[in-house]
Structure 1
Amino acid sequence: MPHDSSPASEPVALTLSVPPRAARGLTADLVRPVSADPGVEVLDLALDDEAVSEFLVRIVHGDSGFVARADSGERALAGVAATVAALCGEDIRAALGAPDIRFLAGLKPPAVEAFREVLLAIETREVAAVTAALAPLGG
């Protein structure tokens, strides 16, 4: 039986890695119409600030996210700000009363991902108005 005397080919070094996931924007695809059963807890942003704060303190330290419901863009923006404040250990009521749009728009991708894992969606009957109110956050 003939023997192949050609030298063995050298191994080629490969670097295998998972391609980075495209960064999601803070509010990209966050707003949707009200659903009959969102499958997770629902926070009605029409509740008073204390009830919203209590809910957020509890949910951000849990294992699942939630869906917020808002009737206005102003309250949806407040809900986004309050959720970020809860995650950062900041004053939730202050964020509800005066959302810091500049701060929210400047969040880094890891903070955005943490936020999106908690606030899964904002449901509303006013999708266009709520989406427009959140536009300054950069989508």
Structure 2
Amino acid sequence: MKDIIEFLVGMGADASVLDASGDTILHQACIGADEETVKYFISQDIVDINCRGYRGRTPVMVAAEMGSVEVVKLLVSEGADLSLVDTEGCTILHRVCRRGHAEVASYVLTQNRIDINARDMAGRTALDWAKGKDMHDLLVSHGARSL
């Protein structure tokens, strides 16, 4: 995929165009958990690493929702801001817990950049969204509280 994108950009394709939902090509690469393509877009400085897409989600939020811990780590190492919230008031941790990705949640928690008890616009914490005992126990061990 990266080779095709490099070719198209080299031929003049505008990689900064948004799709119909407001996502950038970086968001799309994160949806596909395509680490090489994400690296390419970061190296080309085509879009802001913390740009907002559909419902105010950043690329790192999208990668986290997809369960791609390697892409999340890459984005964080390149300056992705884990403290941002989307238009629903959700942190990256809300999004990860909603999907049940314990490995990503564990990594995000080690970064110490998120209020584990932050509430979304509906008043829910990440613990309220946690799927499965493993997610619940992980969050509680880091001090999470529920409604």
TM category (shorter chain) comes to: 0.3 to 0.5
Larger proportion of strand: 1
Task: Return the structure number with greater relative CO, CA threshold 8 A, min gap 6.
Answer: 1
Could you say which structure has the larger radius of gyration?
A: 1
TM-score (norm 2): 0.33
TM-score (norm 1): 0.34
Larger proportion of helix: 2
